[in-house]
Amino acid sequence: MSTAVISGDPTFGPWVVPHRLQNVFTNAYAREQGLTVDTVIPEPIFSDALLTTQWISKHWSLDRILLCSFLQLPHKPEDMERLIDNLENVEFHFILENLVGTGRNFLGQAFRNAQAFRNTSSLKHAEIECYDDLYRMMREAPLPNGTEIRQPANFDQSNDAKD
């Protein structure tokens, strides 16, 4: 079985992880899992289509791919569809999310999860001084699409933070 570590663009999700550090993460994971890394594939900076990996897989059979995160998957649906078509039989390991799987369904779900994370805004940590501030922000935040949270009839709110 051939295992490849993919070093992609350093910026993915909220992180900036240089290639060398991506290699540290993925190699440490491989060692913990008892996997032998056969090759490291450096993907170009500013590219998320994983085209180098797809090209190599046509000439060298890849059985397993290790990526730091599913946030390194392609952003465009057509790029992701090409990746799935070319690598659906390869086992993917997403290290930071601790996910392992193979196939169209697994990769499609990983893509949808990555899209959801990319579309989520982050908190401004300077506005949060303590847990009570975070709790208050959560309670006051509008829910998406008119979602309603219902409390059980016997729910005791006596321990809720007081405003």
Token pair belonging to 90: 């390869």
pLDDT in tens, the chain (163 residues): 799 999 989 988 888 999 999 999 999 999 999 999 999 999 988 788 999 999 999 999 999 999 999 999 999 999 999 999 999 999 999 999 999 999 999 999 999 999 988 877 666 667 778 888 877 777 776 655 555 545 455 545 554 544 4
pLDDT for res 118: 83
pLDDT for res 153: 54
pLDDT for res 83: 95
Q: What is the CATH number of domain 3-118?
A: 3.40.50.1390
CA–CA separation, 116 and 52 (whole Å): 25
Where are the domains positioned within the chain? 3-118
* Strand 91-94 to 64-67 pairing: parallel
CA–CA separation, 128 and 46 (whole Å): 33
**Whether 39 contacts 2, CB under 8 Å:** yes
pLDDT for res 161: 47
Q: Crossing angle of helices 51-59/77-87, nearest 10°?
A: 20
Tell the residue number behind the tokens 């601790």, with chain if given: 98
Quote the pTM value.
0.74
Q: What amino acid occupies position 21?
A: L
CA–CA separation, 104 and 85 (whole Å): 8
Which strands make up the sheet holding 3-7, listed edge to edge? Answer: 39-42, 3-7, 64-67, 91-94, 99-101
